[in-house]
Amino acid sequence: MHKNSKIYIAGHKGMVGSAIWRALKDKGYSNLIGFPSSKLDLTNQKQVEDFFLTYKPEYVFLAAAKVGGILANATYPAQFIYTNIAIATNVIHAAHKTKVKKLLFLGSSCIYPRECPQPIKEEYLLTSSLEPTNEAYAIAKIAGLKMCEFYFKEYKDNFFAVMPTNLYGPNDNFHLETSHVLPAMLRKFHEAKINNKQHVTLWGTGRPKREFLHVDDLAEACIFLMNLKQDFPRLLNIGCGQDLSIKELAYKIKTIIGYNGEIIWDTSKPDGTPRKLLDISKIKKLGWQPKIKLDKGISSTYKWFVANYNNIKE
């Protein structure tokens, strides 16, 4: 990408899209394009095709998606599969028709089978059954990454997909019903602290293990791959290569926030996938590796959360 290349960030107001936007701005890219969903409905094929014909972006970061944690995925599976397949189909096909030079599709580590060997290699995709609680979202993301693969195979379109691990950072979703585990914990412990609550109740047993990557590290990886001149696989994992149990994460966040109450584990609630640790050897061989350590990342995210607390959506 050149500094004046037309670069479209789909989903530029979300956590991932806004991180990519910030990183591009910091690096001197000056011709960035972004529209909120109120002005460009990515599930509407005509609106998407009209946008691509009008603005003719050269590079596309497809970070727009309907996302959520276990509860949201289990409650709204039809919304998750429809919205995410529609976004992928419309944007990828419009990019093909308008001869976009390079497109990066953001997937998710939940695309991999529930009972996966660890760490998870890209080759394990579609080798066994998915985790039921996020099956709808996973299938939609698999459809998007397969579109990138097949448009490259049939048309030689330079489209590829990256599979990030669990992400966190500024502009995350902190809604207690629809958020992922780390931001939900940040909010729960913060509100328990300021309201002097004696305990915090968390879902499950705390035994599942998860890997967490700061969204700014992901943004750096995405820009690195967009600028890579050599050929590389159409599907790449992006993570930090280390995981910890949900229980360990809870006590880490509890300490960082300075909450002194108890933690109660509601074992009637689901745990989700037992473990999800990505094998990141392929992207590391290309020359990228994460920089932000988990403790530092959680601390900076908590500062952002406190500073923006009054604007956080209920």
Q: Can you say which residues are annotated as belonging to the binding site?
A: 11-17, 106-109, 141, 164-167, 180, 188, 203, 210, 271
Q: How many residues does the chain have?
A: 314
* Helix %, strand %, coil % of the chain (to 5): 45, 15, 40
Question: Active-site residues: which are they?
Answer: 137
Q: How far is CA 128 from CA 66, 111, 172, 253, 280, in A?
A: 24, 11, 31, 34, 21
Q: Would you list the DSSP string of 279-307?
A: --HHHHHHT------HHHHHHHHHHHHHH
CA 110 to each of CA 21, 94, 129, 135: distance values in angstroms, whole numbers, following the listed order: 24, 26, 11, 8
Backbone dihedral region for residue 156 (phi beyond 0: left; psi -120 to 50: alpha; all else: beta)? left
The contacts of residue 293 (CB under 8 Å, 6+ apart) are none
Q: What's the angle, vertex CA 99, arms to CA 98 and CA 103, rounded to 5? A: 105
Q: Where are the alpha helices (DSSP H) in the chain?
A: 15-26, 45-55, 70-75, 77-97, 135-155, 181-194, 215-226, 246-257, 281-286, 294-307
